[in-house]
Amino acid sequence: MEFRIVRSELAEAVAWAARVLPVRSAVPVLGGLLLDADSGRLRISGLDYEAAARIEIEADVVRPGRVLVMGRRLVDICKVLPAGTVACSVDGSRLSVVSDGARFGLSVLPFDDFPALPPLPELRGVVDAEAFAAAVGHVAVAAGRDDALPVLTGIRVAFDGESMTLAATDRYRYAVRTLGWKPQIPDASGDAVVSARRLMDIARSLARSGMVRIALDAGSIGFENGDMRITTRLLEGQLPRHDKLFALTPAAVAVTDREPLLEAVKRVAVVADGDSPLQLDFTGGSVQLRAGYEDDVASQRLPSTLEGASEMTVAFNPSYLVDALSSFDAPVVRFDLLGPGQRALLTGLVSADDMDRNPAHRHLLMSVKPLV
C-alpha cells in the first residue's frame, strides 16, 4: 500500500476516527486504526466494543492496500508532521510516514483479530447537525456520572413524527430539550438511551457538517454525514418519564435576567463549602442571593418579578444551579416554584413578557433545605 495526502487532511481524519478507540484494552488490535486505500480514496476506521467510526477522504493512491496500526500513536505522529504532503507506504511489517524530511515508522498489527465494523442501523431521519449538537449540550449537564447506574449516565433520544426529544437526569435534576427534524417516514417513532459522554462527543464532531442522518435499531444508534459514519451501542433501560414531574401546578412564577443571575450565583457561591446551599429569596421586585454560614457569608440582590405569591424562598446546590443556568441560551429565565424542598422548573424566555408554557428547553431542579 502507498498513498500521498495533505498533512492537515490526514491529521483531521485520523483524529476523528480515533475518538472511539479505548484508552486501554486487553485486545491490542482494538487500539488500532485500519487504513484502507483504493481508487483515490482513503478510508480510516476504528472501533471498540461500544462504538465504531469510519471516515473517507480523498488521497493520491499509488498502490492500493490496507494496514492496521496503533491509532493513538498515529494521531501523535500526525500532530507533529511538517505541513505539506505526507507519503505513507507499507514496507514489510512497517508503515512508513514521511513528510518534508521527517520520517516515522509504525509497526503493523495483524488483521486476523480485528473485528468487522458493524453496519449502519435502519435510517430514521435527518436533523440539522448544529441544532442537534446544541440540544445535546443543553441536556447533557443533567446526566448522571455514577457508572453504578448506567442508564442515568445516558441521554434519552426519542422522536415522534417531526419532533425529537432529548432528555437526561441524575435523579436530582432533569433537563429536556425538543427540536424539529425530518423523519424518513411521516409517522416515524423511536426511543433509545445513549451514553451522554459518547453522544456529546459525536454531536460536537458533526456540528459543522450540515444535515446528519440518524439510524436506529434495537441495539445501536448511528450517525452519518457524507463520508463520516459513527455507531454506538445503546444503554439498557429507560429514563423515568418527565411529564408528571414537570407539571408544577399551582406554582409561583419568578422571572429575572439570566446572565446577571448566573454571574451572581457564581460570585455568592464562593463561600458555599461542600454541599452548602445557595438561597434565593424572591419578592415582588427583587431576588436576594445568600450563601455561607456564621462569618463567611455572601449576598447579592438583583431585580426580578414574582407572581402567585408575595414572597418565595428556595435553595439549591450551587453547582447544579450554575449548570442549569449555563445550559440556556435565552436572555431571561423563568422559575416555576412550589416551595422550599420541592421541585423548581427553569425555562429560558426571550423576554420577561414571553411567558411561553410550552418551551423547547426546560430544566427541573430539586430545591434543598434553605439556610437557617
Q: What is the pLDDT of residue 275?
A: 74
Is residue 245 assigned to a domain? no
Please tell me what DSSP assigns to residue 28. G
User: Do 223 and 127 belong to one domain?
Assistant: yes
Find, among 25, 345, 48, 41, the residue nearest to 33 by Cα: 48
304-346 residue pLDDT tens: 999 999 999 999 999 999 999 999 999 999 999 999 999 999 9
Closest CA relative to residue 213, chosen from 290, 123, 149: 123
- Domain boundary residue, one of 187, 202, 233: 233
Residues 124 and 215: their CA atoms lie apart, in Å, by 5
Count of CB atoms situated within 10 Å of the CB of 130: 16
Pairing of strands 228-233, 278-283: unpaired
> Would you state the pLDDT for residue 188?
83
Last residue of a domain, one of 198, 233, 268: 233
The C-alpha atoms of residue 37 and residue 290 are separated, in whole angstroms, by: 62
**pLDDT of 355 strictly over 80:** no
Instruction: Give the percent of the chain with pLDDT over 70.
Output: 99
DSSP one-letter code for 117 = P
pLDDT score for 23: 82
Mean pLDDT of the chain: 93
Q: What is the pLDDT of residue 69?
A: 96
Q: What b-and-e string marks burial along 292-319, b requiring 16 or more CB atoms within 10 Å of the CB?
A: beeeeebebeeebbbeebeebbbbbbbe
Give alpha helix (H) positions in the chain: 7-18, 71-80, 129-140, 196-205, 258-268, 318-327
240: in domain: no
Q: What is the sign, positive or negative, of the torsion defined by CA atoms of 349, 355, 361, 364?
A: positive
> Per the structure block, which three cell numbers stand in for 101?
524530511
pLDDT, tens digit, 9 for 90 and up, residues 136-158: 999 999 999 998 999 999 999 99
Amino acid, single-letter form, for residue 186: P
Whole-number pLDDT of residue 26: 75
Whether residue 163 is contained in a domain is answered as yes
Confidence bin at 208 (pLDDT 50/70/90):
confident
Residue 22 or 363, more confident: 363
pLDDT at 181: 96
Indicate whether 218 and 264 sit together in one domain: no
Task: Please check whether residue 117 lies inside any domain of the structure.
Answer: no
Considering only the C-alpha atoms of the chain, give the largest distance between any 2 of them, rounded to a whole number of Å: 81
* 285 and 333 housed in the same domain: yes
Residue 27 has pLDDT above 90, yes or no: no
CATH of the domain at 167: 3.10.150.10
- Number of domains forming the structure of the chain: 3
Contact 223, 124 (CB under 8 A): no
Residues 33 and 94 in one domain: yes
Nearest CA to 283 out of 257, 249, 314 is that of 314
Any domain includes 218: yes
Residues 130 and 72 in one domain: no
Kindly state whether residues 21 and 88 are assigned to the same domain: yes
Distance CA 325, CA 266 (A): 11
Bond prior to 250 in cis (omega within 30° of 0): yes
- Is 371 within the bounds of a domain? no
- pLDDT for residue 353: 76
- Residue 170 neighbours by CB distance under 10 Å: 18
Residue ending a domain, among 50, 79, 109, is 109
Cα Rg for the chain, rounded, in angstroms?
25
Band (356; pLDDT cuts 50, 70, 90)? low
The Cα 12–Cα 214 span in angstroms is 23
pLDDT score, position 372: 65
Would you state the pLDDT for residue 313? 95
Q: pLDDT band at 350, cuts 50/70/90?
A: confident
The type of residue at 191 is D
Tell me: do 150 and 208 sit in the same domain. yes
Based on the domain organization, do 212 and 259 belong to the same domain? Answer: no
Asked whether residue 302 falls in the same domain as residue 336, the answer is yes
- Give percent of the chain with pLDDT exceeding 90: 81
**pLDDT surpassing 70 at residue 357:** no
Phi and psi at residue 350, in whole multiples of 5°? Answer: -70, -35
Whether residue 350 lies inside any domain: the answer is yes
- The whole-angstrom separation of Cα 316 and Cα 135 is 24
**In-domain check, residue 244:** no
Question: Distance between CA 341 and CA 332 in Å, rounded?
Answer: 24
pTM of the model: 0.92
Q: How many CB atoms lie within 10 A of CB 332?
A: 19
**3-state SS class at 307:** strand
**Mapped to the 3 state alphabet, what secondary structure does 227-238 carry?**
CEEEEEECCCCC
pLDDT, tens digit (0-9, with 9 covering 90-100), for 28-52? 889 999 999 999 999 999 998 899 9
Residues 146 and 103 in one domain: no
CA-to-CA distance for 324 and 242, rounded, in angstroms? Answer: 16
At 137, give phi and psi (nearest 5°): -65, -35
Say which amino acid occupies 150. Answer: P
Which range marks the domain in which residue 129 is found? 123-233
On whether the CB atoms of residues 147 and 153 are closer than 8 A, the answer is yes
Q: Which residues, listed in sequence order, are joined to residue 252 by a DSSP beta bridge?
A: 337
37/69 same-domain check: yes
Residue 144 shares a structural domain with residue 206 = yes
pLDDT given at position 334: 95
